[in-house]
Every structure is written in structure tokens, then in C-alpha cells.
Structure 1
Amino acid sequence: MSVAKVSVLGIAGLSLVALLAAVKSCNGPVGPPTGSYKIDTVTFKPTNPQAAAGPAPGVWIDTNLEVSSLTGGTVKSELPYQLAFDYTDNEGSFQNIEFTSVMITYDDGTIEPATSKLKLPLRIAARLYETVNSVSGGRVVKGTVSILSSKIPGVITRDQPFTLEMEGHFTKPDGSKVPFAIKQHFDVEVEKSTKSAAEVLQDK
């Protein structure tokens, strides 16, 4: 298994640069964003999230945030949305994660048809990263961590609350499986406003 290098803070803090990463294109040197932005975004927030009894991936909704430019314009979400998941395996216990069932049911009882078109089971292999962290005195500490993460695109086609149900398992190096089941409700927050670049960065 190949080893990629990433800082510990980098893994947890990628969302802090979401604004810059979402810019479609930029000519010339990249500086701090300026100007004002028209906001038209959707955020899905878990309702009463509960800790799983055993190992299970974390899930969230990627709404394909797009920013028109670094000098003002628009910040908007783009349907259809992606289901994102990740699991940090500090012990290197699992070779892969496999989803055998994915279902999204909106609050009006409608089942998302895109989930029935998924090619299941969906298996994602673990990726090994080298972590680099500095401690007091400037000493650098290196280690490794196994990450199981990916996104399932196009499975959410409405800006409406829904319940996500997922089943699957982790596979250990010896072939044994550790099952998990997820049932999580998501509420929707829609924002339509105008903000300065500084306010947008602060939000993200």
C-alpha cells in the first residue's frame, strides 16, 4: 500500500479552504477573496446524531459548493448532491469498507430513486497516510493512519429533509467482517443573502 504525506491538521481542516477550492478558475496570482457575494446555499444538518455501538463511518452531505470568482459574485449549491463518508482507522485494522445497502427517504415518504440505481455493493479500499505533527520544542513526530473515505455522487436530488439508511461492513486483513448500520435524519437549512468575502470565509 502506498503512503501519502499529510499533516494531522490538514486532514481535519480541509473544510477551512472550501471557498478557495470551490473557485472554478482563476488567472494570475491567488490572493485573499474580496468583494461581496450573493449566497444561495443549502446545508444538511444531522438531527439528534447518535454514537454507533461499534465502528462506523461518519457521513455528511456535499452540496457541490461553487464560488464564481475571488473578487465577488456568487456562492451556491448545485444539485444533485453527494453523500460523503469517512472513517479514520488509527490501528490499521481494516483493509476496506463495503456498502451493501443505501436508501434515502424524504420526510414526505418518497424514496430517492437515485439510490435504487446505485451499483452495490460499493467497496472502497483503505488508504495509508503518513502523518506529520509538531510538538512543543519544535520536535516533529511522524506516524501513519489509515483512511477509508469517498463520495457517492448524485444521490440527493431535493432540497428537503430526509432519513439516510446505510448498511455494510469493514473487512479485516484476515477476511473477517465487522458490520455496521447507519440511520440518520438530516434537516435542511437554506441561506439566501449577501455577504462580504470576509464573512463568507468566516462561515466556512
Structure 2
Amino acid sequence: MTGSTHSGARREPDDVQDLCRPFLKSLPVSGASVAAMSASGSRMSLCSSGVIAARIDELQFELGEGPQNSVVRSGRLVMIPDVASGGHDDWPVLGAALSELPVGAIFCVPIQMGAVTVGVATLFCDTPLVLDDQQQATALAIASAIAAGTVQQAMVSAIDDVAVESAAAPAFRREVHQATGIVLVQLKTTATIAYARLQAYAFANGITVHTVARDVVSGSLNFEDTPP
């Protein structure tokens, strides 16, 4: 299947989480999953639209290979338009496992905040599919739009201990607010985006937002010196 038709796509389940939903609504794919990932090795599955999408995500984690890892390293979209045709030299074990699933095509889309890849959206179609240039641009635009939500959900679920610390120690909360204000000035942006950048940096480096905030306040970390 090629072009922009939806003939290979299954109907979107009613309970698909918000991070996955935009891909299913806007692209001719059968399923989607979103995982928060970073170069430091942090990884967390955040949503999947169904059993097959979840299994594709799980296999890449279990086997330690696949296009998700390539996306994290390169920051670029990886497309496998015809899973059955082979071409899995970089992930042969995964290729063999995928042959047992009703999957025709897979697309892994980088979820980036600034220059940091904070996650990967893995899309699949149950028949072979080539995404045209417009569809690729749409996939990347959606990934960019959900970047802040991806980081926030991952941090709340497992990595960010600021909420717990803040309840017990208001000083921690004040330091995070102070750091947000500093980054706001450094990047000439809004408080929402400044805090999101703190979260993205923390996730990418496998540390807490409070640790990043402390470094910002102390002056040892300046976001003007980090990639945009």
C-alpha cells in the first residue's frame, strides 16, 4: 500500500492514549506506540494502541536492537516500508521476530525537544506502506507536538522525584522555580518551555529535575551553552 489512503489501517480504539492518538488520526497506519528514550539508556513505554503495537515496542526492548535505537542515535526517522522483504542487517533477530507478526511496514519517528531526542514513536501498518514526503513531515510535526508531554509523562512515572521532594521540602520546589526563571531569561522563552527544557535535559542525562535546577542556580549549567 502506498500514498495517503487508509485501506490498511484498522479503526482506532476508543481508549488510545493521547500521545498515540494523533498519529492514528493523521497517518495511514494501523497502530502506534510511544516510548520515552534517551542516549543515557533511560527507557519507558508510555502508550500503545493495541497488542501488536505493544509487542513491536516490547521486542525492541527485549532484544536490545531495532530501529528505535537507530533513531535515538541518529535523531532521524527510520522507515521499513516492507518488513517481509528483509533488509534487517542491523537488527537480524528482530527481523526474524517481526516475520511472525501481521506487520507490513514499520516507521520509527524521533520525538525531539530542541536537539535532544527524548523518545520514539513506533508506527506500523499491517500491509507494506511507503510514507510520502508530506506524511513524513506530518509524522515529525506530531512528534514535535507531543515532545513535552512525552517527557512529562516519563518523568512523573519514574524518573522525576521533584514532586515527592517538593512535598517534604519547599526549598526544593523554590529552587526548581528559580531555575525555570533563569532558563526563561537565558533562552528568551516562556516559563512553560523553560521548565520543559529542564525536564528534557534531566531525562536525557538520567538525572532528576532538581539536580538540573541546582546546577542552573549554581551557574554550573547554562542553557545558552546547550544545543537549541
TM-score, length-scaled by structure 1:
0.25
Q: Which has the higher helix share?
A: 2
Q: Which has the higher strand share?
A: 1
TM-score, length-scaled by structure 2:
0.23
Between the two structures, name the one with larger relative contact order (CA 8 Å, sep ≥ 6). Answer: 1
